[in-house]
Amino acid sequence: MDTVDAAEPLVIFIFGVTGDLTRKKLMPALFSLYLNERLSEFRIVGFARREWSQEHFRDQVREMIANVGGASEEQRNRFVQSVVYLQSTFEDPAGYEKLREHAAGFPNRIYYLSTPPGAYEEVIRSLGEHGLARSDTGYVRIIVEKPFGRDLASAQSLNSLLQSCFDESQIYRIDHYLGKETVQNLMMLRFGNGIFEPVWNNRYVDHVQITVAENAGVGTRGNYYERAGALRDMIQNHTFQLLAITAMEPPNDTSPDSIRDEKVKIIRSLDPVTHREPDRHVVRAQYSAGVVDGSEVAGYLTEDGVDPESQTETYAALRLYLDSWRWAGVPFVLRTGKRLSRKATEISVHFKHPPLHFFGPAGSPLQRNVLSIRIQPQEGITLNVNAKIPGYATAVRPVSMDFAYGSAFGPAVPEAYERLLFDAMKGDNTLYTRNDEIEASWSFINRILDHWSTQDGPLPQYAAGSAGPDEARGLLADGDRRWRRV
């Protein structure tokens, strides 16, 4: 069992502790780590602006962990007794002096920046200026939430500020997709089995689809989303990370830098044709009013906080090529969107047809073999193969070979944030994004954003609850290639 004994006692500072992410993800993840005996000598200090008393904060924490099952009342009480509220603004130097007092007696420190992105720089600079970025007695690490920059220049400036206060080894840029079990299992699938790697290349693979679909709209975050859009919010980070893990070469070993070296090579090998000819290879669109899960929902342009003439895309699809011997000529098509028919994240590898087709009536196409890796919901892996329908005739039907995490290992798959927090406590940053990966992906995405900034006029629309805009079909219009059903 992995332990973090050497890393304790530990104090975790959450900047932005009264926010949504702490409530939904961070506090439940920390409580689960505590229940699983991954945290014993620890304190959690929540830093935020609201005038909350300690009692009120602890009541709030009790609510935040209410849905984590399998805990006794005593365990809940002990966890809640370990949290402390530090009321201050990020701009007030006194807040950092109070922070120092809270850190006393704890050789190891983790700072979690769960703040609005506009506050990252203030907090990082202040930690540096107050001498809180280093410790002589233990480790100091900083976890930075997404978004990491909104273009190449802002990502570079954030990286250089971070690196002026912390060493790269202390910096953990989170992309919670990498904490998902199935994403890690993709590496196990590829490199822990002998049968996949030989066919994982342009001789056998026709194309690869990566889908990150949401059925939710922008909700109350219209203001934030207006400045982001699907390309920034989903493609530059999560979807590119999935692409890198799907396409990377086998690393020399499983050390963090060996894996991250291979991932960054994939992003650097992206063929510039996609951003040189964005109108051929990239599609963007916005959702209009429609029906999702049986309820009528508004279109993007009438959501709260959204400019009625907004040009922010809620859907983006890209056709990418990799300049490498392994992948030359194989399209990787990526798509993401809000208000699609359902929530689903999936990587699917579509194999070439066999060279001859003897089965079935003349002209009837065989289905391609598809290996699909479902990241959410119902994490698992399915391989579609063609099978003979029992009977006297020779008729073919695709069937699937399924592996579902839930049925193979039981339902207790750890939450992504839990795994990633634990890795940060152990000092393992394999599943965090390195500065060069982030800058390489921004450098590519920036060129598409630059092109869009020269365009005017309304964006194509797709009905909420649909599979996305018709325009995206063209990205896969070759032969029998089709998008998988969302």
Ligand X SMILES: NC(=O)c1ccc[n+]([C@@H]2O[C@H](COP(=O)([O-])OP(=O)(O)OC[C@H]3O[C@@H](n4cnc5c(N)ncnc54)[C@H](OP(=O)(O)O)[C@@H]3O)[C@@H](O)[C@H]2O)c1
Binding site for ligand X (CB under 6 A): 16-22, 24, 48-50, 89-91, 114-117, 119, 145-147
CB of 328 to ligand X, least distance (A): 35
CB of 52 to ligand X, least distance (A): 8
Helix ranges (DSSP H) in 364-457: 405-409, 416-426, 435-453
CB of 31 to ligand X, least distance (A): 17
Handedness of CA 267, 273, 277, 279 (dihedral sign): negative
Amino acid at 198: P
Q: Which among 345, 351, 344, 347 is positioned nearest to 385, based on CA atoms?
A: 351
- How big is the CA angle at 424 (ends 422 and 430), to the nearest 5 degrees? 105
Is the CB of 112 or the CB of 462 nearer to ligand X? 112
Distance CA 381, CA 190 (A): 12
- Return the active site residues: 238
Q: Give the DSSP H/E element, type plus range, for residue 315.
A: strand 315-320
CB of 470 to ligand X, least distance (A): 30
Distance CA 150, CA 236 (A): 10
Is the CB of 147 or the CB of 179 nearer to ligand X? 147
Distance CA 376, CA 180 (A): 9
Regarding beta strands 295-297 and 370-376, do their DSSP bridges make them parallel or antiparallel, or are they unpaired? unpaired
Distance CA 230, CA 146 (A): 14
3-state DSSP call for residue 258? helix
Q: Please, which residues have CB within 8 angstroms of residue 365's CB and are 6 or more apart in sequence?
A: 353, 357, 480
CB of 224 to ligand X, least distance (A): 7
Q: Are 366 and 353 in contact (CB under 8 A)?
A: yes
A 10 A CB-CB count for 60 gives 20
**Residue 115 tokens, joined:** 């703040």
Is the CB of 115 or the CB of 324 nearer to ligand X? 115
CB of 92 to ligand X, least distance (A): 8
Distance CA 320, CA 322 (A): 7
CB of 146 to ligand X, least distance (A): 5
Is the CB of 119 or the CB of 396 nearer to ligand X? 119
Distance CA 146, CA 120 (A): 10
Is the CB of 234 or the CB of 370 nearer to ligand X? 234
Place of tokens 């992995």: 2
Alpha carbons within 13 angstroms on the beta-carbon side of residue 216 total: 7
Helix ranges (DSSP H) in 234-372: 240-247, 256-268, 273-276, 278-281
Distance CA 207, CA 215 (A): 25
Tell me the backbone φ, ψ of residue 59, rounded to 5 degrees: -60, -40
Distance CA 192, CA 65 (A): 36
**Residue 130 tokens, joined:** 């107050």
Q: Give the DSSP H/E element, type plus range, for residue 87.
A: strand 83-87
Q: Give the DSSP H/E element, type plus range, for residue 81.
A: helix 73-81
Is the CB of 300 or the CB of 417 nearer to ligand X? 417
CB of 88 to ligand X, least distance (A): 7
Is the CB of 173 or the CB of 284 nearer to ligand X? 173
Q: Are 330 and 266 in contact (CB under 8 A)?
A: no
CB of 98 to ligand X, least distance (A): 12
Is the CB of 92 or the CB of 480 nearer to ligand X? 92
Nearest residue by C-beta to ligand X? 19
